[in-house]
Structure 1
Amino acid sequence: MRTILRSLLSLLFAFSAIAVSGQVPSFYRSTLDWAKSSQEIAPNITNTQPTRTAVPLISYPGINSDGSNLRLAPNALSGGGGAALASAICGPDTVFYPLAKATGFEILRFSDSLAFGQYFDAPQAITVRGFSFYAYVDSSTSQTVNLTCRLYLAGADSLPTGNPLATTTVNVDSNFYGGSLALLEKYASWTGVVVNAPYVITVENNTPVSAGIITNDFSPVSLPRDGLQEWLGQIYVPGATSAWVHGYGITIGPNPFDADVLLHPHVTYDITAGFGPTQATGCTNIAATLTNMSSPIIQNRMYNFAAFQGNAANSFNWNYGDGSAIDNVINGNHAYTTAGTYTVTLTDSMFGWNVTCTDAATGTIVVSPGQAITANFSYTSAGLAATFSDMSNNSPTTWVWDFGDGNTSMMQNPSHTYTSNGTYTVCLVASNACNIDTFCQTVLVGALPASSCDTIGNITGTPTLYSATNGGFVAGHNFRHDSAKAESFALGGTFAFEEALYFFGLKRSPTPMTSKVIATVWDANGMGGSPGAVLATQDLLYSQIDTTGALTSVTFPSVIGTNGNFYVGLQLIYTPGDTIALITNAIGQTIPATAWELDSAGTNWVAYDDTSTWGIGVSHAIWVIQTVEAAFTQATAGLSATFTDQSLGATGWQWDFGDGNSSTMQSPSHTYAMPGTYTVCQIALNNTCVDTICQTVTVSGACPNPTA
């Protein structure tokens, strides 16, 4: 008889919020031991079970040309349906998932109604016919024991629930076989039970004779342990509070039971290949996504070795039918370069632990030429009525109009009557089966609106005048002799203005008729988006500055057109006795700060919230008044004239060519019917501003031949 050295370092278990710790009762010492004899030490166990090699990222080679290993689903896509589905029976297979996770092995002893369990997913219907496990009887006796093997459904807590679905007994003897798993393997079998939900298989020893069962390794001090903290292994602790306990509720030796019991279910299941494109048609050069509808078990790491490796996509081979390479992805995605009809085949390969099975589904995709659409339209207006003409290219088949007043149309060339004068943003969405495009323009109906342009600034909150600790004012003259103060405007798009408004908090000067600051506009092309080149300047005398609470207006020499990103501020001149300061809002009311300053050397711009300067989030009290300025040039050739827009700040244009014809293009061309001199007017507008300019244009050339 072999001498058994039993060493149970600790056993902690938790149930119903009760924790047991300290000295382990003798009951547990007799029923659950960690085997450590010279012949039964766990590292001596040898794994002679079948092993799987890595699944290659290639088309699975085991499909015979005669289809004997391949169940094809004879389907064709039509009317936007999905791929028709058939099934292939897969199995019987032995699920070696716990063994595959093993880096080492342990032996746990059990008796007196103690039991072990292992949880398994059931992503679909699975037939369980039994399981394999590795066990032997205590070497100190020649007795054999009957271990009770059961199948349960798993409850919401993943532990066994309800009555067992199947029960059998397996006789186990005391042969240790030198630790060979192949020789220690035992088989529990029953008539197949179909499970449609997660399940637990269990082994219990209801005798006083101690038996050993093999688990994977939970002994490493550092993570990961073989259980990978999935906590699939379970232990039934008999006694006054008999209960199944998760592995994290049991401590064996110095570590929690973060391991799997090597219980390997024998299963059979169907696999069904399938996919469902959202429609049965596609377009060239536009990728179509094919949604995988195959059996969910194929992506489950407990049953598919490829998924266990983290390569579930290797189980799916997409043949798009156009000669392109086989695609190993879960959901197909492919762009065809040539129009035509293509048969798409999805071949599923289920890489089980002992078997490999396949199934396939096919579908037909009709690919049409995909020419890009460019949406466009023109319009004419008479009073409040407007008529719109579709000018989109490449044959759209649907049109969706938004007239900018809450009304819409799906006609190709609709008419619409507005309820009031004004400008409206009209958008056309033109599309066909392959492409879509949107075009918007500003439409003017009725009389010209009065030009009432927006006043735009950043400042909100409490008007504040901040003094500098060491003299002067934060937003004006101060002890650091800042060269300039500027307010950032990040409006985007086309923007024009000519007038700026400043709110000054203080001015002092012994010579107000000659002392000045310089109102300045900069672009935003400096380093990191800081002020860059000067766009405009205007001298501002102290005598012109209001500090009684009114705003000071500055009109620059001409309209300034920008890309919507610019700075407006002051260049400061330091003359003895002069002090000037702008109002800001309170600290923290603008984050990030939009107020900037230029150092005394005139080389470095920083925002006020930069820690190298004031470190405060504020805005200057500076506003700009949006405007628009109409302007154009002309060129003639015979009876034709080309008009080139030179307007500033415009987002829409209305042209009157003086002969009863008009256009809404930015820079149109027009051919007159007769030579002569015509008055051409351009109306330039944006959301709130309108400006008009007219010029005469003279065209000449031969008159067209009269017709009867």
Structure 2
Amino acid sequence: MKRYLLVFLLWLLSTVAGAQNCLFAPIDNGNGLYTFNPDPITLGMGYRHTWDFGDGTNSVDPIPVHLFTAGTFNVCHEVFDSTGQQLCIYCGPLSVAPTPCSFTAQQDWIQPQTINFELLNASSGQVATWDFGDGASGYGLIAQHTYTDSGTYTPCVSLYDSLTGVLICNSCQTIQVFPSPVTCGFMWYPDLTDPLTLHFVTNPPPGTHVEWDFGNGMVGSGPMVAQSYFPAGSYLVCVQYTDSVTGAQTCTACMPVSVVPVTSSCSYSAIQDPFTTGAFQFFATADSGSTIQWDFGDGTQDSGSQVNHVFPFAGQFNVCMTAVNPMGTVCTYCDTIVVQQTGGGCSYTYLVDSANTFNYTFAYTTTAPATTVHWDFGDGTTDTGAIVLHTFPASGFYNVCAVEADSLSLPVCQACMLIPVVSNSATCNISFFQDSLNDALVYFTCNVSSPTSIVTWNFGDGSTGSGALATHVYLAPGTYTVTVSEIDSATGLPLCSSTTAVTVIGTGFRCTFVADPDPLQPNQIQFTGIPSSLISVLNWDFGDGATGFGNPVNHTYAAPGAYTVCMNETDLQGIVLCSWCMTVSVTTGPFPACNAFYTSSTLGLDAYFIDLSAGTSPATNYLWDFGDGTTSTTRFPQHTYPAPGLYNACLTITDTACSSQFCSQIRVDTAIVFPTTCQAYYVILQMAPYQVAVVNLSSGVNLGFNWDFGDGTFSTDPYPSHLYNAVGDYPLCLTVTEPGTGCTSTYCDTLSVDSLGNVFRGMSGFMLNIMSPASLTAVPDMTASPSFAVYPNPFNAACTLQRAASAKGEAVVRVLDLRGAVLFTERFSTGEVRVPADQWSPGIYLIELTEGDGYRSFRKVIKE
């Protein structure tokens, strides 16, 4: 009887960074539990790690696992060497999303009895059915329903896997539907360019006069108004409806609104006059148009962005700068200024080497010919002589003192100055990219010479910024000259500056839409628009002569083919705000000969694509169009997008029998979103005949595992190996338990193996962000050749395993009997290895070879 091996693999996502780099890659283990992978180099002997998860908890594990609730957290990672010295620190935001079946029910402000429903954390490859609580039902991850009567309803949603029909979760909530029209309802939103300005919109019935009280002593009229607030805070805004004919008041409604203050940053640099004791020049860095006030800590004040000040005596002074920007935001920055005093009427001068600004020449003016000058350079070194050369070890301020002594070595005079030392090797290199959906949103990066440097930006439109990484939104099209300046933090002196040009074609968010075909009726597609404005109307051209209105909309195509679908977004007056077109591929019938499908996972600007197509073979060709002008022909590609945004990524598979295409929207950004909740889950991938990878994706804390292989055998290992005795259908079930919470979850899938070693997934269950996709780029496609040969076969006392000529590095060979017992294991790096078999009983055995890249292959051998 033939036997087949099912191998369970775990693939871990690793992000490669520079030496002693604190960057890390958070890897989802499912439902809020994830692992943090640091730079592999920092996992060596002698390194110590500390983690701050941003929720009040910490860890010193090199590779920690942590469970989060929903929310956004600032995760920080520090690495120390064996002496306890900090090598680096990095902090990054992490967003944890609600559970898959959480949904929102938003009342339409124009048609109050119309409710917009949206699942908060569903993904492509999933479908949702809705029960709206009034006898009506719907379909789609985003749904819209209009209730005929006002009242209380309990809508429910059920989320299914689109390929298998397996129920993922369901949820219900109670909502209140108000009668139409809404009595004095209004909405508000902040201005995109001025957060202290709010826009208010209401929907009065015909013949109504609208009056506003903005809560700050100001009033207004009309259905759409704007009001500027100062300062930021909470205000009670009221709207009043009056009948235009009778003058009778029909209703009044009030709502508290929050005006969020604008954040601001500021600092200053100070340069000492080398020839005047206590004289300093101060330079302020603050928002454009800010009013600057100074307090020098000696009882005097001044104002202005650039001021000069002479301190009255030697000592330390706490100098504070206060900046108030045009929005009214106050920023204060303080630093300590050290003033050195000269004595005895003596002095010295110095020159800086232009080739190496760490080299200084000091010249002392003596008071008598028979004196000796002793130098203390403030860095722990000394010298003697009227003229001396000195090299400082690093940038900074150094208190350099010259002491003149007479012939009896008695001091007669002393002169001290605080000397600024800066490097002249810094070069400011600007790089930038523009958002794919809004080219007015620009992301800037400056390659600084030191992580402690102060970086300031002038964006060329009158606004400024700070930091090595900066983001700016331009308000009008045009070409802007952007300047970056790097300032030494130790001295406040400029290190370098650089300019570049940025061209903005348009401003504002570009609209787009998503196309979701019905998995059971592929010619029926739901289109969901993502508009650029909160107040707009969507019109559709489906590319087959038919049109539509609303959001979302469903359309059924009469014939298969490629259709160019266009969405036009207009305001309430019919003015076109934005247009977006996309080609969709329509197939026929619910069960095509082959069906292209994929899921994807993103980490920053990197996207990992996982082919889940049905009806493929080793002869299948794969063509990926990532939506940014680049393509790939590998089965599991990895791609780095040039900028954040939405991209329409398409997979086309072709074979001798059929061709199929699947497209889906991919969003990349710097934020990473993960689901929450404890859950049992795994997925199945076939890499070649008889080679099956089952990836355990269960989530939870300190989980216990129980595998039911469907043939009467079980395992409690998280990643077991199991040998099936025959081909056929096997229900494979995994149950996980979490001791801390009592959580128990079970997930099952049917595995079918035919006589040729082909594996079919009865229930695929693939989802976004549930596996480690980066490792798939290293896994060979199904067309990969076997990685070893065995001779002789059959054999008696021994056989020889010979690796493929292309194999490199170490490999591990194991021999298993038909019960799954391991009879022989050896690690080797040569081209072949001898396998002794003189103690084995005659029969069939399985030889497993695992290469260094994780690829496994198998051979059945016979011992005579």
Structure whose residues are more often helix by fraction: 1
TM-score, with structure 2 as normaliser? 0.24
Structure with bigger gyration radius = 1
Structure whose residues are more often strand by fraction: 2
TM-score, with structure 1 as normaliser? 0.28
